[in-house]
């Protein structure tokens, strides 16, 4: 089914019904708010205005952003602030671990901006944060969504040595659109990182957005490329334009098409596929451990 696109006054494409969500509900955010503010911590749940926040927080999953909130890259789909990041906070690993304990997080997802400004790309802070969470909350499972470290596998190894349960690295889009959507990133470098993770026996996961102009055949080719790396888990969600400075939505993929992607992806061999309009990288992440 094809959804006819209509433009709003501000130049955004009007969202179809299946993307309209009620963001607020009765869940007690206050306590969590204090914990995060106290630790000057960022969650992508909040900075990304994720529609799944309450469902995830209720199920004891939250995604923390480490290494600050200013990125050295300029991906055209992303609303994170770009520019010169602040120095890394050596105390951050302990603060994250404290928040995980205070928020009773069962499944902790860590992500970060890309720190091409740091000699090790931030790999040491990544490793220290994983170790701190494991130390303070040994029953919490840990999933990390890492940048590409410019394909430097010795840095990826540093993070692997901290023994997270799942390592995710997002391709974000299909090969043809990568230069437009992710600018500094390279499709093959991302595949190399995922292959390296799988070769070390760690569960590898990736995610893409659709609605940026890709074809179904390109989505299936991306699935094949990911499976060739040993990646077992994929998330597929609708790209939503965060601001007028970001890429415009080219199409709203229907729920029926997302179901089709899931069916075909499972037939191709993925162990887990989350494929729905509002799916984000860490949606139902606790199920993938
Ligand atoms: S590297 Fe990540 S945080 Fe940075 S602009 Fe791209 S998507 Fe956003």
* Structure confidence by residue, pLDDT tens digits, 4-25: 555 666 666 678 988 876 555 5
Cα Rg for the chain, rounded, in angstroms? 18
Q: What pLDDT was estimated at residue 20?
A: 72
69 Cα: distance to centroid of ligand 1 (angstroms): 10
Q: What span, in angstroms and rounded, lies between the C-alpha atoms of 167 and 148?
A: 12
Q: What span, in angstroms and rounded, lies between the C-alpha atoms of 149 and 40?
A: 25
Q: What span, in angstroms and rounded, lies between the C-alpha atoms of 287 and 289?
A: 6
Q: Is 73 in the pocket of ligand 1 (CB under 6 A)?
A: yes
Nearest to 76 by CA among 191, 190, 244: 244
Residue 160 structure tokens: 């692997």
Q: Is 185 in the pocket of ligand 1 (CB under 6 A)?
A: no
Q: Whose CA is nearest to atom 8 of ligand 1?
A: 78
Segment 81-137, tens digit of pLDDT? 999 999 999 999 999 999 999 888 989 999 999 999 999 999 999 999 999 999 999
DSSP conformational letter for 150: G
221 sits in which H/E element: helix 216-229
26 Cα: distance to centroid of ligand 1 (angstroms): 31
Q: What span, in angstroms and rounded, lies between the C-alpha atoms of 100 and 89?
A: 17
Q: Whose CA is nearest to atom 2 of ligand 1?
A: 113
Q: What pLDDT was estimated at residue 1?
A: 47
54 Cα: distance to centroid of ligand 1 (angstroms): 24
73 Cα: distance to centroid of ligand 1 (angstroms): 6
Nearest to 247 by CA among 167, 197, 179, 155: 179
Pocket test for ligand 1, best of 68, 114, 247 (most atoms within 8 A of CB): 114
Query: What band does 37 get if pLDDT is binned at 50, 70 and 90?
Result: low
Return phi, psi of residue 146, to 5°: -100, 155
Q: Are 210 and 238 in contact (CB under 8 A)?
A: yes
Domains of the chain and CATH, by start: 22-288 (3.20.20.70)
């Amino acid at each position: 089914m094809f959804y006819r696109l209509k433009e709003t006054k501000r130049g955004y494409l009007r969202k179809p019904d299946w993307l309209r969500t009620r963001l607020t509900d009765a869940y007690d955010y206050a306590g969590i708010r204090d914990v995060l503010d106290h630790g000057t911590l960022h969650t992508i749940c909040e900075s990304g205005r994720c529609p799944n926040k309450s469902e995830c927080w209720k199920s004891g999953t939250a995604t923390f952003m480490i290494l600050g909130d200013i990125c050295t890259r300029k991906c055209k789909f992303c609303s994170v602030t770009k520019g010169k990041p602040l120095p890394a906070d050596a105390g951050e690993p302990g603060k994250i671990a404290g928040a995980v304990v205070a928020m009773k997080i069962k499944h902790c997802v860590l992500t970060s901006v890309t720190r091409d400004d740091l000699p090790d790309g931030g790999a040491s802070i990544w490793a220290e944060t994983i170790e701190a969470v494991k130390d303070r909350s040994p029953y919490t499972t840990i999933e990390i969504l890492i940048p590409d470290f410019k394909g430097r596998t010795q840095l990826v190894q540093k993070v692997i040595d901290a023994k997270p349960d799942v390592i995710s690295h997002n391709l974000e889009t299909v090969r043809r659109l990568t230069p437009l959507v992710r600018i500094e990133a390279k499709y093959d470098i991302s595949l190399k990182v995922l292959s390296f993770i799988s070769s070390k026996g760690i569960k590898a996961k990736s995610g893409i957005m659709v609605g940026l102009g890709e074809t179904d055949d390109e989505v299936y080719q991306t699935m094949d490329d990911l499976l060739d790396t040993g990646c077992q888990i994929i998330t597929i969600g609708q790209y939503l334009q965060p601001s007028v400075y970001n890429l415009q939505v080219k199409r709203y993929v229907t729920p029926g098409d997302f179901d089709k992607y899931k069916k075909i992806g499972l037939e191709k061999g993925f162990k887990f596929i989350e494929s729905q309009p509002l799916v984000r990288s860490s949606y139902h992440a606790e199920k993938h451990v």
